[in-house]
């Protein structure tokens, strides 16, 4: 589990190197837009869930913008959990500026969320790039199930595992003239080791080590159904929501939404 503490250090370092004003104006969109920070397909799924009077959470909430957006749908309260303390602080600042006082944020390793939060939530959400930071999905989804109330819902919106097969611009195997070529194994087991910062936050620099993991769709589904949760929906899309749009609408599965109930 040492990689988790190292990832915490790397994320906090990335935030310390953040682009000028990164995330600082999120409150403006929260004040002026309906469901900002969600793509249309995710917004559709969320608006078809009854959040009135419900207690909701986001695991790996980053700077809180998505959870704060979700609060527009009438939830009673929200809690965001993320391992990086300085990013959580930005989430708290955004909530205050947006006047959202029924949502709080907790700096925590997701796998070590205290038992006081067990059986607490009607809805738990993961968004793009979250579950890749966990090596053992069985342990992760047991924690999710522990924290959900009976009848509670988990929703995952993420890049499709197929994208792990595709080289991205700047990588040695990327060829913009042959976007139909795959490079990496779908069944990769070795972790991804990165030392170039977290580009969307900080740009590239010689950074502390980020360690992440590939998981297939069957890995995700089977880990969920080993818990008291049962899959109720999975939808796949031909566009990406986190890495790049260069492969969009070329017949590849690039993102997905999964919903399960406890």
Of 142, 104, 147, the residue nearest 123 (C-alpha): 147
Identify the three-state secondary structure at position 21: coil
In tens, the pLDDT along 98-139 reads: 999 999 999 999 999 999 999 999 999 999 999 999 999 999
CATH architecture of the domain with range 2-261: 3-Layer(aba) Sandwich (3.40)
In tens, the pLDDT along 192-245 reads: 999 999 989 998 899 999 999 999 999 999 999 999 999 999 999 999 998 889
Taking the domains of the chain in order of start, what are their residue ranges?
2-261
Identify the three-state secondary structure at position 123: strand
Calculate the alpha carbon distances from 167 to 161, 162, 172, 180 in Å. 13, 11, 8, 11
Q: Is the pLDDT of residue 96 over 80?
A: yes
The alpha-helical segments, DSSP class H, found in 82-234 are 85-98, 137-147, 199-202, 217-225
Residue 78 backbone zone (phi > 0: left; psi -120 to 50: alpha; other: beta)? beta
* Phi and psi at residue 166, to the nearest 5°: -100, 130
Is the Cβ–Cβ distance between 148 and 230 less than 8 Å? no
pTM of the model: 0.96
């Amino acid at each position: 589990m040492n990689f988790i503490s190292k990832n915490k250090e790397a994320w906090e370092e990335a935030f310390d190197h953040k682009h000028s004003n990164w995330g600082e104006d999120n409150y403006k969109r929260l004040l002026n837009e309906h469901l900002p920070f969600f793509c249309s397909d995710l917004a559709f799924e969320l608006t078809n869930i009854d959040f009135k009077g419900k207690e909701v959470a986001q695991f790996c909430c980053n700077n809180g913008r998505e959870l704060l957006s979700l609060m527009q749908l009438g939830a009673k309260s929200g809690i965001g959990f993320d391992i990086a303390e300085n990013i959580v602080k930005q989430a708290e600042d955004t909530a205050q500026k947006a006047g959202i006082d029924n949502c709080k944020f907790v700096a925590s390793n997701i796998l070590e969320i205290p038992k006081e939060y067990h059986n607490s939530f009607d809805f738990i959400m993961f968004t793009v790039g979250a579950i890749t930071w966990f090596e053992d999905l069985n342990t992760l989804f047991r924690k999710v199930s522990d924290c959900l109330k009976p009848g509670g819902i988990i929703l995952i919106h993420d890049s499709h595992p197929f994208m792990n097969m595709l080289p991205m611009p700047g990588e040695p195997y990327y060829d913009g003239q042959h976007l139909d070529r795959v490079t990496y194994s779908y069944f990769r087991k070795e972790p991804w080791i990165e030392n170039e910062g977290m580009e969307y936050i900080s740009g590239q620099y010689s950074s502390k080590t980020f360690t992440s993991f590939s998981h297939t769709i069957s890995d995700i589904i089977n880990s969920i159904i080993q818990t008291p949760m049962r899959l109720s929906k999975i939808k796949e899309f031909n566009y990406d929501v986190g890495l790049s749009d260069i492969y969009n609408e070329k017949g590849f599965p690039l993102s997905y939404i999964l919903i399960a109930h406890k």
